[in-house]
Amino acid sequence: MEPDIEEELLCVEAELQDVQDQIRALLDRQEKLYERQSELQTLLDGYKISQSAENKAAPVAVEDWSGSFEWDSRADDTRFNIFGISSFRANQREIINAVMSGRDVLVIMAAGGGKSLCYQLPAILRDGVALVVSPLLSLIQDQVMGLTALGIPAYMLTSTTSKEDEKYIYKALDKGEGALTILYVTPEKISKSKRRHTVVVNGATIFVLTIRILATATYKVQTDLMEMLHIPKCVKFVSTVNRPNLFYKVLDKSSVGKVVIDEIADYIRGSCSNNESGIVYCFSRKECEQVNELLSLVAKELRDRGISADYYHADMDVVARGKVHLRWSKNKLQVIVGTVAFGMGINKPDVRFVIHHSLSKSMETYYQESGRAGRDGLPSECILYFRPGDIPRQSSMVFYENCGLQNLYDIVRYCQSNRKCRRSAFFQHFGEAMQDCNGMCDNCAYGTEIKEVDATYHAKIIASLLHDMQSNDQRATMLQLVDRFRAKIKASAGASNTPASDLKKEEVEQLIILLILDRVLKEEFQHTAYATNAYVTLGPLWKQALQGKKAVKLEITIGQRGNKGGSPKGANKRTRTSGLETKLDELRIELSSSHGGIFPHAVLSMQQINMLGHQKPTSIEELEKLIGKVKAEKYGNRIIEIIQPYVTLENPDVMEQDLRKASENGGNKRLKKKDKNLVYVESSEDE
């Protein structure tokens, strides 16, 4: 009798558990639907508002901002001769035309898209003072420095402005014309300024924003902004999120710390041997002191491997932090190791690589963080080191955020995927139509060798293991679950006719993550006095897995990811820098120091260096046609002096013989210099 009751009790309990799981799954689903409902509602509202605004407005002809305008030639002249920019990028001309026409303009453009020119150029062309409001002090300093170097009267009104400068600025504002063209201010300066009535902004207002929005929210964000800024009739320019020059790549991360650092060092030495700038991001757990140790350790380990690296973290004193940032901005330090907090206000255009030593917390943050690479439009790489074992650390930080886990699992899907174009994941995330990747991600560029393993049986074992544990009020972290799973498989191997597991530890981790993404398992968290621990427990779909009804396919890469066999379809289009380009790069660092400590990119951009490397102008007139009047006048003589020997060295083989002969004859200083150059020329792929 008693056993019958016990058995029924067990059955009822199991069924109750099942019902509870179903309720949880339904509640989960309900929450998601509510979320989507509100998103759709907002979209619809926004659409209605814009429709009614359009209906109310006087009938407007479709505006053609790409046509010809009376300021065209002045705009082109300023673009080229002052900024040294040879052609406009997508939307820039149109935006400038709309601003010049006195319209309010809303611009949404990806990082590095070239927003600054859209307000700097009209500021120069239009009468009066242009006021630029920005909360980022480093951006303001960078731009004022850059504009001043170009001879444009630019000033800033910030917490760092001296009383004297303030006086000068207010006087210039009162006087109007001439002495001041662009004035940068921080928002608090406007609200605090008792004299704000003296700041006269006449004419058009331009609002330039970096993309920092969810896709689904794009339209809503736009309408919110238009409402907040009182610009209902503004002209809108919304550009793509695509950064075609960025090569996205995910690499398997070894569980051995030193191996990862070795790989990073190898990459930097191999691909960025000309001291090209980069950032290595380590995870940011604000409350965790270890992160500071980790940053300094990674920087030290990179230095031990011959790479000029230093670290940057929030707890450093302001002076030390500023010094590191400045050395890096001036190309005197190659790599900064930092938390993702290092990045706000980085305006360095020639960052050639951003390496994530650990996972970002969402697709959006990864887009932002990796997007600090290649703002000058030249090929740059975004590398993410991924290993499933890193996930619990991240999830225990983000689970309390709104949609925190969902966002984290999105980027985990991005990392786990071996076939899907990485770029397409961004288009999908930001709700944009697909565009061609042009082989600029690992999955598109390399042939992928994948072994597909049927892991249905393994999933069953995991579900039953967890079920047993949970029945005994036990919990397991991911690592513990992996160990238990492997022990169980080992014990049962050979003992019965169960298929043996040949999954490695990392592959079992990968499987557990897959099961979490598929909702067979889920993560749960527990706070202790010191930390938040992440556990893996049964998820809403565990029964199906236990009953073997859920087909589970695990994709295992053969060899190392990112290093897959097969030839690249597209290309990682980075070309090696020629000897001349290296010399010009050194020159810009020298000139930037001797011209009041401006940034090297304010002297010559990398694009200009590449162009000079190819065109090799030998007179100021020729140079002017490439980099514009202002820069040619300022730096021309030195640039020509550097280029000259490379022009005479038309045929490196002949020249080498000549030089050898000359050095056999004792040589002279001039020829020795040429000899040095010659070695560079030979080593260049471009020549």
Contacts with ligand ATP, residue ranges (CB under 6 A)? 85, 87-89, 92, 109, 111-117, 210, 349, 375-377, 605, 607
Which of ligand ATP, Mg ion, none sits in contact with 349, Cβ below 5 to 8 A by type?
ligand ATP
Nearer to ligand ATP, 46 or 600 (CB): 600
Q: How far, CA to CA in Å, does 619 sit from each of 84, 622, 678? A: 17, 5, 21
Which is nearest to 183 in space by CA: 139, 132, 143, 123? 132
Report the length, in residues, of the chain. Answer: 687
Q: Pattern 290-309, binding to Mg ion, x per CB under 5 A?
A: --------------------
Contacts of residue 104, Cβ cutoff 8 Å, sequence gap at least 6:
204, 205, 206, 207, 229, 231, 233, 234, 235
Least spacing, CB of residue 369 vs ligand ATP, in Å: 12
Least spacing, CB of residue 377 vs ligand ATP, in Å: 6
What is the Cα–Cα distance from 366 to 370, expressed in whole angstroms? Answer: 6
Least spacing, CB of residue 633 vs ligand ATP, in Å: 19
Nearer to ligand ATP, 69 or 525 (CB): 69
Nearer to ligand ATP, 112 or 636 (CB): 112
Least spacing, CB of residue 284 vs ligand ATP, in Å: 20
Look at the block and give the residue holding tokens 């009798």.
1
DSSP-assigned letter for residue 359 = -
Strands 335-338 and 277-281: parallel
Nearer to Mg ion, 115 or 543 (CB): 115
What is the Cα–Cα distance from 411 to 525, expressed in whole angstroms? Answer: 20
Q: In what order do the strands lie in the sheet with 246-252?
A: 246-252, 380-386, 351-356, 277-281, 335-338, 309-312
Nearer to Mg ion, 157 or 211 (CB): 211
| 8 A C-beta contact, residue 248 and residue 440 | yes
Contacts of residue 70, Cβ cutoff 8 Å, sequence gap at least 6:
none
Least spacing, CB of residue 554 vs ligand ATP, in Å: 39
What is the Cα–Cα distance from 300 to 310, expressed in whole angstroms? Answer: 7
Per-residue tokens: 326: 């400045």
Which of Mg ion, ligand ATP, none sits in contact with 81, Cβ below 5 to 8 A by type?
none
Least spacing, CB of residue 113 vs ligand ATP, in Å: 4
Least spacing, CB of residue 112 vs Mg ion, in Å: 8
Contacts of residue 383, Cβ cutoff 8 Å, sequence gap at least 6:
249, 250, 251, 267, 353, 354, 355, 356, 562
Least spacing, CB of residue 100 vs ligand ATP, in Å: 17
Per-residue tokens: 655: 């020249």
Nearer to ligand ATP, 111 or 482 (CB): 111
Nearer to ligand ATP, 89 or 305 (CB): 89
Least spacing, CB of residue 330 vs ligand ATP, in Å: 15
Q: Which helix (H) or strand (E) holds 450?
A: strand 450-454
Per-residue tokens: 174: 């009162």
| 8 A C-beta contact, residue 323 and residue 336 | no
Neighbours of 353 (CB within 10 A): 26
Least spacing, CB of residue 120 vs ligand ATP, in Å: 8
What is the Cα–Cα distance from 371 to 112, expressed in whole angstroms? Answer: 8
What is the Cα–Cα distance from 355 to 334, expressed in whole angstroms? Answer: 13
Nearer to ligand ATP, 88 or 680 (CB): 88
Nearer to ligand ATP, 46 or 114 (CB): 114
Strands 277-281 and 309-312: unpaired
Least spacing, CB of residue 102 vs Mg ion, in Å: 23
Q: Which helix (H) or strand (E) holds 456?
A: helix 456-471
Nearer to ligand ATP, 133 or 316 (CB): 133
What is the Cα–Cα distance from 70 to 80, expressed in whole angstroms? Answer: 17
Angle of CA points 81, 84, 88, to nearest 5°: 100
Least spacing, CB of residue 211 vs ligand ATP, in Å: 8
Which is nearest to 534 in space by CA: 388, 386, 358? 388
Nearer to ligand ATP, 50 or 607 (CB): 607
What is the Cα–Cα distance from 343 to 587, expressed in whole angstroms? Answer: 27
Which is nearest to 373 in space by CA: 302, 242, 278, 249? 278
Q: Pattern 105-124, binding to Mg ion, x per CB under 5 A?
A: ----------x---------
Least spacing, CB of residue 634 vs ligand ATP, in Å: 16
What is the Cα–Cα distance from 520 to 661, expressed in whole angstroms? Answer: 75
Strands 532-538 and 521-527: antiparallel
Chain centroid to CA 213: how far? 14
Nearer to Mg ion, 241 or 302 (CB): 241
What is the Cα–Cα distance from 207 to 153, expressed in whole angstroms? Answer: 21
Least spacing, CB of residue 591 vs ligand ATP, in Å: 17
Q: How many residues of this chain interact with Mg ion, rule: CB under 5 A?
A: 1
Nearer to ligand ATP, 241 or 671 (CB): 241
Which of ligand ATP, Mg ion, none sits in contact with 85, Cβ below 5 to 8 A by type?
ligand ATP
Cα dihedral 395, 400, 406, 410 sign: negative
Which of Mg ion, ligand ATP, none sits in contact with 330, Cβ below 5 to 8 A by type?
none
Nearer to ligand ATP, 150 or 520 (CB): 150
Residues forming the site for Mg ion (CB under 5 A): 115
